[in-house]
A and B are shown apart, each in its own frame.
Chain A
Amino acid sequence: MDTIPLDYETLRLIWWLLLGILLIGFAVMDGFDLGVGTLLPAVARTDAERRLVLNVVGPVWEGNQVWLILGGGAIFAAFPALYAVSFSGFYLAMFLILFALILRPVGFKFRSKVEDKRWRAVWDWGLFVGGFVPSLVFGVAMGNVLLGAPFHFDDTLRIYYTGGFFALLSPFAVLCGLVSVSMLIAHGAAMLVIKTDGPVAARARRYGSLAALATAVLFVLAGVWVANGVTGYSIVGTLDAAGASNPLGKQAIAAPGAWMANYRTMPWTWIFPLLGVAGALLSALMLRAGRGGAAIMASGLAIAGIILTEGVAVFPFLLPSSTDPNSSLTLWDASSSHMTLFVMLVVTCLFLPLVILYTSWVYRVLRGKVSPESLEQNHNSY
């Protein structure tokens, strides 16, 4: 281990930040696809309009979805205990997400291959589900991170999860789900304003700015709830930030108001919730003004602000346990080994910039509005 140039503590912190970056990357990149899917029935009424909307995201959604795949892989590689607890604990919620996400690739590819009203209506419905359900469930999951999940370990670190599916749908968690849905709708609407003209863009502006306003309001509401009504968690005593990755080595307790502790000790972190609110309001204004490019920047910032707000609140927790706080997962005791974190960091530093580079190139090639004529010229269009 002496040969690893970064110490364990630093690597864990870097990976916690990278996890945030990947989550934001997913919400920003795949988020507008999900938002567009959710908006599909509302902004596009005729078949021609729907094809227009599908072809806005058609060429890029596959690449965007890799942010989700990468997010899953990165959690597995960097915080295996988090991957194991959350994916198995939220089993039916994860299944619901998978079910919805399966409908997306085939929905895009299959819908326009057959000229039949009912066929297309079925896939339109599938694409809506494929956008709405993951947006909602991911938000609900983020809400449950704040609430804590009912799990504990035995001394071989086998996981016991004692909750059920419907227990995930508490009012607070559903509120978080709605923040997520409205945030991604606003983001998707901005993309539609950038890439289309006419009635689709007009409706996207209208619904998008409403969704952006809703995002700001719901986010503030959730924040007030966290400050006053959600029990947080905190570590008792000290936790060795460079110690062995075994969640049973520490003591933690449930403590009302604990999620505000980091905001009290580090007041500069208020910048993140402010960014969330300001970004959402700005994107509402820009959407109303029909300025898609500015709107998507604003909603992107809102997404980053909202995700980081939660990250700061729960730090250093990744997933607290509501039934056995000592079993809670934190970035200091649920990570991979020193060597794995280092190797994965090197790989990420090599490839993530490359990914961003060629993704930008692809977006540049595809720049410009999607027009009905361009759909006719390309037999591959959706």
Chain B
Amino acid sequence: MPDMSVVELSRLQFALTAMYHFLFVPLTLGLSFMIAIMESVYVMTGRDIWRRMTLFWGTLFGINFAMGVATGIVMEFQFGMNWSYYSQYVGDIFGAPLAIEGLMAFFLEATFVGLFFFGWDKLSKVKHLMVTWLVALGTNFSALWILIANGWMQYPVGAEFNPATMRMEVTDFMAVLFNPVAQAKFVHTVSAGYVLGAVFVMAISAFYLLRGRHADLAKRSMAVAASFGLAASLSVVVLGDESGYVTGENQKMKLAAIEAMWETEPAPAGFNAFAIPNQETRTNEYAVHIPWVMGLIGTRSFNTEIPGIDELVVRAEERIRNGQVAYAALQRLRADRSDMHAKAMFDLHWQDMGYALLLKRYREDIGNASEQEIAKAAADTIPRVAPLFWSFRLMAGVGFYFIAFFALAFWLATVRKLDKYRWFLKLALYSLPLPWLAIEAGWLIAEFGRQPWIIDGVLPTFLAASGLKLHQVIISLTGFVVIYTSLAVVDVYLLRKVILKGPDDMPGGERRPNHEGAPLAAASSTAA
């Protein structure tokens, strides 16, 4: 078993780099679509203002895209670097969607994004529009494959353990592809990205209107964002991915933890609007309980029961015992391939073997675990409840707020009064950080809520780490913190600079005096 401090620091590094990467990706998802819409209007109407809108938002998109690319490579490499046993154990399944993402999606967006910026005077209007749409399509395909990979970690379907290779292997590729958890996650996550993109455009446009600048561009941009945002905010809540939580044991545990529902309630379960969950006593203090709501959100039905945490722990204990049987059978099977009894026992219980691996935290020879150790391992299946409980309320609260906000914005756009009310423009401006908070909270619920598993029910996180030395992880973690912090400062500075300068600098707008023309011309004349 790897050193626990290496495990914890590797987790911290993965969480920080993933959450940081996830600041940029959702904006890319949302903005690319809105830019494609704006350019489509330009191509259809031929009105120059829509071209300038495309260029202006495109510049902001470009800065954000560079950050997304820079931080994205890190994600792909880290599985092998810090989670080598994970990579070895499930690479047969998990590697495929990552490779397909590169082939099918990232190549598309990255190849055409250059042409988006450099192809304006080299392509016809329609061809350039096609390039822009291909970038948007590429970013969304990218999200699809990444979430298929992630969905499999949450709900590992279509694979089984192979004793000869000591790893999980694909048995049904279609099941991995059409994993219901992955599908729910995809729709929910891209919708969240669209909301974020819409809020970004709303807020910056509101800023211009408050200052009385670029009213033409700002009003039109707001109208696009209002309709796009309304559709997206409805979709993000209605197609929220908690609908996927009814499948898979750990997903059920996550749902129960989100709700701090310690005991099973008769269906439909109630919703704790407020509570202070106590992990030690497994109770809630000061709970404000609203009947029925949770059952309806979680199961979309009146009579499906949602199991509580205590019940799930009892089930986990049972699975640990079955897992011990499978683990013992595996040892016998490896010693003697022809042991048919061992084979039969393994086939019966292999799906619980991951639960027995939880015992590795307490002892190597997990077959001899004491009752107390089994109870401890079963209790380990409960994620930290309070952070999940509050993250969910933050995320859902922001989600509902944006439905109301975009409904209002859409109505104002319809009656052409988007720029009439200063309070509304201020509301739009100050809403800017909210979607990021909701999105990061969503990431936390999905991934922190998956603990103690790296793959639900199959492999505990602590076993998945590489056998690195502590100083190696400290060096990389420190390095990432330093470079990411510096880049964050630079990124915000540049975005602010571009926003303050405004869209007038775009070709076709009022051009500022050209500072670089002279030296460049000089350089080219000396060249000749």
Residues in A lying within 8 Å of B, measured CB to CB:
46-49, 51-52, 58-63, 65-66, 68-70, 72-78, 80-81, 83-88, 91-92, 94-95, 97-99, 101-106, 108-110, 113-115, 155-161, 197-200, 244-246, 336-337, 339-340, 343-344, 347-348, 351-352, 355, 358-359, 362, 365-366, 371-373, 375-381
Question: Which B residues between 58 and 94 are near A, CB-CB below 8 angstroms?
Answer: 58-59, 62-63, 65-67, 69-74, 76-77, 79-82, 84-85, 87-89, 91-94
Question: Which B residues between 496 and 528 are near A, CB-CB below 8 angstroms?
Answer: 497-498, 505-507, 514-517, 519-524, 526-528
Question: Can you list 27 contacts pairing A with B, beta carbon distance less than 8 Å?
Answer: A62-B69, A66-B102, A73-B100, A76-B95, A77-B91, A80-B95, A85-B84, A87-B79, A87-B81, A88-B82, A99-B479, A102-B483, A109-B62, A114-B497, A115-B515, A197-B528, A244-B162, A336-B96, A337-B165, A339-B171, A347-B100, A348-B103, A362-B114, A366-B115, A366-B122, A373-B520, A379-B59
- Tell me which of B105-113, B197-205, B386-394 binds A: B105-113
Closest CB in chain B relative to A373 CB, distance in Å: 8
Contact A88 B81 (CB under 8 A): yes
Closest CB in chain B relative to A273 CB, distance in Å: 30
CA distance A74 to B100 in the complex (A): 8
Across the interface, A104 reaches (CB within 8 A) one of B58, B70, B104, B115, namely: B70
Contact B121 A48 (CB under 8 A): no
Contact status of A102 and B117, CB under 8 A, knowing A48-B516, A91-B466, A347-B104: no
Given A105-B70, A106-B67, A351-B100, output 13 extra A-B contacts at Cβ < 8 Å: A48-B522, A77-B91, A80-B88, A87-B84, A92-B476, A157-B165, A158-B88, A336-B96, A340-B92, A340-B170, A340-B173, A343-B173, A381-B118
A-B pairs, 4 with minimum CB distance: A198-B527, A80-B91, A87-B80, A77-B95
CA distance A68 to B73 in the complex (A): 9
Contact B107 A379 (CB under 8 A): no
Question: Which B residues between 461 and 485 are near A, CB-CB below 8 angstroms?
Answer: 466-468, 472, 475-476, 479, 483
A104 / chain B contacts, CB cutoff of 8 Å: 70
Closest CB in chain A relative to B153 CB, distance in Å: 14
A84 / chain B contacts, CB cutoff of 8 Å: 80, 84-85, 87-88, 91, 466
Contact status of A337 and B162, CB under 8 A, knowing A83-B91, A84-B85, A347-B103: yes
Instruction: Assess whether B273 is interfacial by the CB under 8 Å rule.
Output: no
Quick one: closest A residue to B122, CB to CB? Answer: A365
CA distance A65 to B106 in the complex (A): 10
Contact B110 A63 (CB under 8 A): yes
Contact B88 A81 (CB under 8 A): yes
Closest CB in chain B relative to A201 CB, distance in Å: 8
B515 / chain A contacts, CB cutoff of 8 Å: 115
B100 / chain A contacts, CB cutoff of 8 Å: 73, 344, 347, 351
Instruction: Assess whether B126 is interfacial by the CB under 8 Å rule.
Output: no
Across the interface, A62 reaches (CB within 8 A) one of B87, B111, B516, namely: B111
Instruction: Assess whether B456 is interfacial by the CB under 8 Å rule.
Output: no
Across the interface, A108 reaches (CB within 8 A) one of B66, B93, B94, B483, namely: B66
Contact A377 B121 (CB under 8 A): yes
Contact status of A87 and B77, CB under 8 A, knowing A244-B164, A337-B170: yes
Contact A69 B73 (CB under 8 A): yes
CA distance A88 to B79 in the complex (A): 9
Instruction: Assess whether B334 is interfacial by the CB under 8 Å rule.
Output: yes
A94 / chain B contacts, CB cutoff of 8 Å: 77, 80-81
Across the interface, A109 reaches (CB within 8 A) one of B66, B77, B165, namely: B66
Contact B111 A113 (CB under 8 A): no
Instruction: Assess whether B321 is interfacial by the CB under 8 Å rule.
Output: no
B88 / chain A contacts, CB cutoff of 8 Å: 80-81, 84, 157-159
Contact status of A46 and B103, CB under 8 A, knowing A59-B118, A246-B166, A362-B115: no
Contact A379 B507 (CB under 8 A): yes
Contact status of A98 and B103, CB under 8 A, knowing A58-B118, A157-B167, A336-B92: no
Instruction: Assess whether B401 is interfacial by the CB under 8 Å rule.
Output: no
Contact B519 A246 (CB under 8 A): no
Contact status of A91 and B468, CB under 8 A, knowing A336-B95, A379-B506: yes
Contact A199 B106 (CB under 8 A): no
Contact status of A83 and B475, CB under 8 A, knowing A65-B69, A98-B74, A379-B507: no
Across the interface, A197 reaches (CB within 8 A) one of B96, B113, B119, B527, namely: B527
B491 / chain A contacts, CB cutoff of 8 Å: 106
Across the interface, B514 reaches (CB within 8 A) one of A99, A355, A376, namely: A376
Contact A344 B96 (CB under 8 A): yes
Quick one: closest A residue to B511, CB to CB? Answer: A379
CA distance A198 to B475 in the complex (A): 44
Instruction: Assess whether B238 is interfacial by the CB under 8 Å rule.
Output: no
B81 / chain A contacts, CB cutoff of 8 Å: 87-88, 91, 94-95
Closest CB in chain A relative to B98 CB, distance in Å: 4
Across the interface, B79 reaches (CB within 8 A) one of A76, A365, A377, namely: A76
Instruction: Assess whether B344 is interfacial by the CB under 8 Å rule.
Output: no
Instruction: Assess whether B404 is interfacial by the CB under 8 Å rule.
Output: no
Closest CB in chain A relative to B68 CB, distance in Å: 8
